């Protein structure tokens, strides 16, 4: 049986084309010390790039800018706190309407955090379930297991289908 880890894949940008050109102030997190002087109270936009590296940028940055316009393995928002054991993730979501990543993208983020020596929870603290409506094409965020399009009431598929 396939595990969630086997479902790690790459995601291409599906948002509006005009934000590609916007540059982001990106920090690449290769080790926990890269957060020193960068992380504070605010959450960050993040992506995990095709090399498996975690890239963060100020929260209002577009994910596609954080990714340099490339495909990603994960995208969302992340916040860090500093405890006795060093830096750790206090919040993580896959909220990115630019890439709409599926839940197994967590493993790409988890692997990047583990390599950098940054503490983490066991999954997204705020998971988002993205689906494209097969009838009207609208992008939906599924709430409370209700797989129905918010615009046209059509049924949404159980499987991730945004691309
Ligand atoms: Zn619809």
- For residues 111 and 73, the answer to whether their CB atoms sit within 8 Å is no
Identify the pLDDT of residue 19: 64
C-alpha 155 to ligand 1 mean position (Å): 8
Q: In which region does residue 37 sit, left (phi positive, over 0), alpha (psi from -120 to 50) or beta (all else)?
A: left
The closest of 90, 96, 93, 97 to 121, measured between CA atoms, is 90
C-alpha 109 to ligand 1 mean position (Å): 31
Kindly report the backbone phi and psi dihedral angles of residue 94, in degrees, each rounded to the nearest multiple of 5, phi listed first.
-100, 30
Identify the pLDDT of residue 53: 96
C-alpha 78 to ligand 1 mean position (Å): 30
Give 127's DSSP letter. -
Q: What is the pLDDT along the chain (163 residues), one digit of tens a residue?
A: 567 677 788 999 998 876 666 677 899 999 999 999 898 889 999 999 999 999 999 998 999 999 999 999 999 999 999 988 899 999 999 999 999 999 999 999 999 999 999 999 999 999 999 999 999 999 999 999 999 999 999 999 999 999 8
């Amino acid at each position: 049986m396939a595990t969630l880890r086997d479902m790690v894949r790459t995601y291409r940008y599906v948002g509006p084309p005009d934000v590609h050109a916007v540059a982001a102030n990106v920090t690449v997190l290769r080790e926990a010390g890269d957060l020193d002087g960068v992380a504070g109270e605010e959450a960050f936009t993040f992506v995990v790039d095709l090399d498996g590296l975690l890239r963060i940028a100020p929260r209002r940055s577009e994910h596609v800018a954080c990714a340099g316009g490339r495909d990603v393995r994960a995208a969302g928002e992340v916040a860090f706190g500093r405890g006795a054991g060093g830096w750790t993730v206090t919040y993580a979501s896959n909220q990115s309407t630019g890439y709409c990543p599926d839940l197994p993208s967590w493993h790409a983020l988890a692997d990047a955090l583990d390599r950098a020596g940054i503490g983490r929870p066991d999954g997204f603290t705020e998971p988002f379930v993205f689906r494209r409506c097969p009838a009207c094409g609208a992008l939906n965020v599924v709430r409370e297991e209700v797989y129905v399009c918010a615009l046209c009431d059509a049924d949404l598929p159980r499987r991730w289908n945004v691309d």
